[in-house]
């Protein structure tokens, strides 16, 4: 059973609020939007800088390599039309702690998933994190439903960016116009290209991948090189906040990267910075889109709202999941649609139907006791449709079971 299940409702609320602040000192936590978007907006510093056309041309050449369209989706024209836009930020780690570095087809999971909406009319940015363990029906692409229930971070592994985008769209009933994917395997090169980063270490610890030199971190301010920054971002199990704490440290490191990259001393390293970004980022934002965002959307970065899809911690088929209650999914959907100037719609997808089915069986998201509850993912054809207009059964994340059950001791701040 997940240890988080043993926490009181108030404790989990405090933990969640703590997770939403980066705690990085120096004011970086005021701009969590920069976690990944800063990498794309960084180009503006070079485009309009003192280096002029020569630097502009080099930036265009380097960042042109980052472009990758989404299969099955036409390029969006919302940025050129100055409309509210949505962006899915994906943080992936293809090394799997070094085990699968040699597997060319290995994609890994998107362990960081953040939906960002930017509204140039209201000059507001809304950022909503989707926990990597959130239970979701996985879509491989537009119109391609796998009929599998799994952790949402596995969508990227199943079908690249297209699957991650469509699965998130279906879960929250929102359109996603753009995506930005950053590979943490390139973090070392990025950090070294800006001359290292300064962080405020929250507590002392040591960490290193198997077979590699261990990095040691002492509580307080430290200057990290690329290897240290990667180790600092990866450690999870020794953190009292678990994965929440790891995500906080990742935001801290990448915010520090942006601050270093934007400093005057880094202008002399601009080509190394551009090359490191080019090799670590993939997006369907064109170079023209990036320019337009800087010129027409930069005001929205001054007012940023952070939120989180809050789930109910549960063990399903031996794995820890976060099951988002229908009420929570509806709340987040309403918030994001409003930020995109879209009307609210009642959410109806596989997740809400499974919630309804389980609640009829006696499952309760309000339950705070210690006795376990079972959550069934088997689709009963007479009760629940598979999300494509037909009925049938769905399989678990491994694709070998028709149903599985889980247990939990209480909701996560619900």
What pLDDT is attached to residue 390? 35
With respect to residue 171, please indicate whether it lies within any of the assigned structural domains. yes
Q: Tell me how many domains the chain contains.
A: 1
pLDDT per residue as tens digits for the range 367-390 = 888 877 778 887 544 444 444 433
Position 338 pLDDT exceeds 90:
yes
Q: Is 293 domain-assigned?
A: yes
Burial call 94-104: b when 16+ CB within 10 Å, e when fewer: ebeeeeeeeee
Tens-digit pLDDT profile for residues 383-409: 444 444 333 333 333 332 333 333 343
Whether 403 is in a domain gets the answer: no
Residues in Cβ contact with 299 at an 8 Å cutoff, skipping those fewer than 6 apart: 120, 123
Q: Look up residue 252 and give its two tokens.
A: 């801290």
The residues facing 215 across adjacent strands are 207
Q: Which residues pair with residue 110 across a beta bridge?
A: 92
The mean-pLDDT minimum among 183-192, 216-225, 405-414 falls in 405-414
- Cβ pair 156, 90 in contact under 8 A: yes
Secondary element (H or E) of residue 207:
strand 205-207
Of the pLDDT bands very low, low, confident and very high (cuts 50, 70, 90), residue 31 is: very low
CATH of residue 153's domain is 3.40.630.190
Share above pLDDT 90 across residues of the chain, in percent, rounded to a whole number: 29
What are the tokens at 316?
Answer: 């399903």
Whether residue 38 is contained in a domain is answered as yes
Its domain, for residue 179, covers 16-348
List the beta bridge partners of residue 207.
215
In a domain? residue 5: no
354 domain-assigned: no
Region of poorest pLDDT, from 173-177, 308-312, 323-327, 333-337: 308-312
Whether residue 390 is contained in a domain is answered as no
Q: Please tell me which residue, 242 or 332, carries the higher pLDDT value.
A: 332
pLDDT of 164 over the 90 cut: yes
Task: Check residue 314 and give its pLDDT.
Answer: 81
Q: Does residue 91 register a pLDDT over 60?
A: yes
145 in any annotated domain: yes
Write down the pLDDT at residue 269. Answer: 62
Q: Is residue 308 within 8 Å of 93, Cβ to Cβ?
A: no
Which pLDDT belongs to residue 92? 83
What integer best gives the mean pLDDT of the chain? 74
161-175, 194-208, 358-372: the lowest-pLDDT one: 358-372
């Amino acid at each position: 059973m997940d240890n988080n299940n043993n926490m009181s409702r108030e404790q989990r609320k405090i933990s969640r609020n703590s997770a939403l602040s980066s705690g990085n000192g120096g004011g970086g936590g005021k701009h969590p939007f920069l976690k990944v978007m800063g990498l794309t907006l960084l180009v503006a510093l070079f485009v309009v800088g003192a280096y002029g056309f020569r630097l502009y041309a080099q930036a265009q050449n380097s960042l042109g390599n980052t472009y990758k369209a989404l299969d099955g989706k036409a390029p969006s024209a919302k940025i050129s039309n100055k409309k509210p836009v949505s962006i899915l930020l994906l943080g992936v780690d293809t090394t799997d702690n070094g085990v699968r570095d040699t597997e060319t087809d290995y994609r890994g999971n998107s362990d960081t998933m953040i939906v960002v909406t930017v509204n140039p009319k209201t000059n507001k940015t809304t950022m909503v994190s989707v926990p990597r363990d959130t239970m979701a029906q996985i879509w491989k692409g537009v119109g391609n439903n796998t009929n599998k229930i799994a952790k949402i971070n596995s969508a990227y592994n199943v079908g690249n960016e297209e699957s991650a985008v469509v699965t998130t769209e279906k879960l929250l009933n929102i359109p996603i116009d753009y995506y930005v994917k950053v590979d943490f395997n390139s973090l070392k090169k990025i950090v070294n290209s800006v001359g290292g980063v300064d962080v405020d270490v929250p507590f002392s610890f040591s960490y290193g991948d198997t077979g590699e030199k261990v990095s040691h971190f002492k509580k307080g301010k430290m200057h990290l090189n690329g290897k240290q920054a990667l180790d600092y971002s990866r450690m999870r199990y020794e953190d009292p906040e678990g994965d929440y704490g790891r995500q906080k440290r990742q935001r801290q490191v990448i915010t520090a990267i942006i601050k270093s990259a934007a400093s005057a001393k880094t202008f002399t390293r601009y080509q190394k910075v551009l090359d490191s970004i080019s090799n670590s980022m993939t997006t369907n934002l064109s170079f023209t889109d990036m320019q337009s965002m800087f010129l027409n959307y930069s005001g929205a970065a001054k007012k940023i709202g952070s939120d989180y899809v809050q789930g109910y911690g549960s063990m399903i088929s031996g794995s820890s999941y976060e099951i988002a209650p229908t009420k929570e999914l509806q709340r987040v959907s309403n918030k994001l649609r409003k930020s995109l100037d879209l009307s609210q719609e009642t959410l109806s997808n596989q997740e809400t139907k499974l919630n309804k089915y389980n609640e009829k069986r006696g499952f309760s998201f309000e339950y705070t006791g210690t006795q376990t509850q079972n959550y069934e993912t088997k689709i009963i054809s007479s009760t629940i449709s598979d999300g494509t207009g037909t009925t049938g059964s769905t399989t678990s994340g491994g694709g070998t079971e028709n149903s599985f059950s889980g247990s939990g001791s209480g909701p996560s701040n619900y």
